[in-house]
Amino acid sequence: MYNHFINPKNKKGHINPELQGHFSEHLGRCIYEGLYVGENSDIPNVNGMRTDVVEALKEIKIPVLRWPGGCFADEYHWKDGIGPKEKRKKMINTHWGGVVEDNSFGTHEFMELVRQLGCKSYVNGNMGSGTVQEMSEWVEYMTFNGVSPMADLRKENGHEEPWTVDFFGVGNENWGCGGNMTPDFYGNMYRRYQTYVRNYDPKHPIFKIACGANAEDYDWTDGVCAAAFRKAEWQHGFMDGISLHYYTLPGDWGNKGSATDFGEKDWYRTLSKTLFMEELIERHAAILDKYDKDHKVGLIVDEWGTWYDVEPGTNPGFLYQQNTVRDALIAGINLNIFNKHCDRVRMANIAQLVNVLQSVILTEGKKMVKTPTYHVFNMYKYHQDAELLDSFVETEKIGAEEKYQVPNLTESASLGKDGKIHVTLTNLSSTDAYDLRTVLADTPVKSVEAQAVTGSMQAHNTFDAPETVTAKEFGDYKVKDNEISIKVPARSVLHLAIEI
Ligand code: AHR
C-alpha cells in the first residue's frame, strides 16, 4: 500500500494552459497532409484545414501552437509564404528530407488554423539566416493596426485586421541548426533582434522567447543570460521566456530504438530517461534564479517528447513514428513534472502535433487516428488554468537495471476551474498494479469519476484498429470519508475528478 497525500488548502501555483501546448513544423507530413490539405482536397476541410484533425484538437483544448519550426524556422523567409499561392516561391526543405516546400501554408494559413483551433499563436522567427529587418517586418505585418508598408501589404493580401501574436521565438536551436552560435554571441544577437520585435498592440504585448539550451547544456543558459541580462536586470534580460529542448530516446542518436518493437529493458530505460526532465528543469531554473530573482522569466520547454527510429519504409527525413502505451506514460510523466514546476515552466510544446515524433494524431489519406498520447492530453486538460495543489506520493524504485531504475508512481493534483480536484497518476511498472490510498487533508470526498489509459507495453492504435488504446472509464476504487483506495493498474495513466 502506498500513501498519497493531497492538501486542498495549500495552493502551490497556477498551471498555465500552455503547459499542454503543441508544436507544428514544416517537416514530413505534419503541416502538409496532417493539418493542411488545401481547399480543393476531397478530404473534408475548412479553408484548407482538415476538419477531422481540427475537431480532435479542439476536444483536447489545444492551448497554443508553435510554428513554423524547429530547424525550419531559421531558414524560413516569411515573405515567400504570402500573396497568391501560384506566385509563391518554392524552396528546398534542406533539414527535412530535401523535399520541395511550395509555401502554400504561410502566415495567413497559420493564423487561420489558430483561429479555427481557438488557441494562442507562437511564431518562431528566423535569426539564423534572416535579417533584423526581416524579423521586424514580420511582426509589423502580423500585428500592426495602422498605415505602414507591412500593414498595407497584409491588407493587400486580404487581411484587413491585424492578428494577435501571443508568443514570439527569436531563433531556434541557435547553438546548432539555427546558426551554430556560441552562447555569448547568441545572447548579444538576441538583445539586438528582440529590440525590433515591437509591441504594436499595448493590450497584447508579445511574450518574447530567447533560444535556450539543448538538454544539459547548462553553459548555454548561463552564457545567454550573462549577455542578455548585462545591465538589463530590470528589463529581465529583455526576455519573457527562455527555451529548453529535451527529447527522450530509448537508445542514442546513432541507434534510437523502435517505437513499437521493444522489451522491458527498453521500457525502463526510456521512462528513466524521460524522468531526467525534472533535473533539467530544476538545474536550468537554478541558473535563471541567479539572473532573474523575482521569477519573471519563464522556462519554455518548447520541444519535448520521444524520438525513435522512423517507421520502417518511411522517409527518414520525415520522422514518422508510432505511439504506444509507453508514449502515454511518457506524456503523463512529463505533464506531471511540468505541473509540479509551474512556478518556472510557463509553456511546454510536445513535438510534434501530427505525423511527426510523439504526435497526438496520425493521418493516412482520409484516415485519422488518435494516439495514446492524445488520450493522455484529453485526460490532463482539466489541469489547464487550474491551481496546483500540494501533494506527495510514496514510491519505491523499480526496474532490473540499477542505472535505469524509476519510481513506480508519479502524480500531480490541482483544483480545477470546475471546482473539482483533478489528480493524474502514472504507474510505471511494466508488471505490477499497486494499492494506493489517496488522502485529502480535512476534505471529505463527495464523489469520484475516473478514467485510465492502459494496455500492453507495445499496444498502439492503427488505421485499421484505431481504438486499441483509449481512455476508458475506470472503476477500481472505493471512497470513504476523505480517502480513496485505488488499485492502480500496471502501465497506466489515470485521471480522477474528485467532487468535494
Ligand atoms: O522536432 C524536430 C527538430 O528537433 C526540430 O526541428 C529542432 O528544433 C530539433 O532539433
The model's pLDDT over 407-421, given as tens digits with 9 standing for 90+, comes to: 999 999 999 999 999
| DSSP class per residue in 176-217 | TTTT---HHHHHHHHHHHHHTS----TTS--EEEEEEEETT-
CA distances to 64, 107, 203, 385, 441 from 143, rounded to whole Å, are: 17, 12, 12, 26, 48
| 351 CB near ligand 1 (under 6 Å) | yes
Integer Cα distance of 174 and 167 in angstroms: 18
pLDDT for position 370: 98
Q: Which atom of ligand 1 is nearest to the CA of 176?
A: 10
Q: Are strands 387-393 and 367-370 parallel, antiparallel or unpaired?
A: unpaired
pLDDT for position 20: 98
| 71 CB near ligand 1 (under 6 Å) | yes
The residue whose CA is least distant from atom 9 of ligand 1 is: 70
**Residues contacting 186, CB < 8 A, separation 6+:** 171, 174, 175, 179, 211, 223, 224, 227
**Residues contacting 487, CB < 8 A, separation 6+:** 433, 434, 435, 436, 476, 477
How many angstroms is it from 71 CA to the middle of ligand 1?
Answer: 6
Question: Does residue 283 carry a pLDDT above 90?
Answer: yes
pLDDT tens per residue across span 441-478 = 999 999 999 999 999 999 999 999 999 999 999 999 99
For residues 235-262, give the mean pLDDT.
97
Is 303 an annotated catalytic residue? yes
Q: Which three cell numbers stand for residue 380?
A: 490532463
Question: pTM of the predicted model, to two decimals?
Answer: 0.98
Q: Which three cell numbers stand for residue 268?
A: 525502463
Mean pLDDT for the chain overall: 98
pLDDT for position 18: 98
pLDDT category at 240 given cuts 50, 70, 90 is very high
For residues 158-167, give the mean pLDDT.
98
| 173 CB near ligand 1 (under 6 Å) | yes
Question: Does residue 264 carry a pLDDT above 90?
Answer: yes
Catalytic residue among 18, 173, 387, 411: 173
First to last CA, the chain: 24
Catalytic residue among 18, 303, 387, 411: 303
- Shortest CA distance to 349 belongs to which of 498, 244, 471? 244
Q: Are strands 421-427 and 434-440 parallel, antiparallel or unpaired?
A: unpaired
Q: Which atom of ligand 1 is nearest to the CA of 96?
A: 6
| 70 CB near ligand 1 (under 6 Å) | yes
The residue whose CA is least distant from atom 8 of ligand 1 is: 70
Is 33 an annotated catalytic residue? no
pLDDT category at 98 given cuts 50, 70, 90 is very high
| 34 CB near ligand 1 (under 6 Å) | no
Question: Does residue 234 carry a pLDDT above 90?
Answer: no
Run of H or E including 320: none
pLDDT for position 363: 98
Integer Cα distance of 218 and 333 in angstroms: 23
What's the DSSP call for residue 169?
E
pLDDT for position 45: 98
Mutate to test the pocket of ligand 1, among 24, 25, 321, 349 (most ligand atoms within 8 A of CB): 25
Integer Cα distance of 128 and 175 in angstroms: 10
Strands (E), 24-130: 45-46, 49-50, 64-67, 91-93, 99-101, 120-125
CA-based angle 136:138:143, to the nearest 5?
100
CA dihedral 22, 28, 31, 32 (to 10 degrees): -160
- Helix runs in 233-353, H state only: 264-291, 325-340
pLDDT category at 190 given cuts 50, 70, 90 is very high
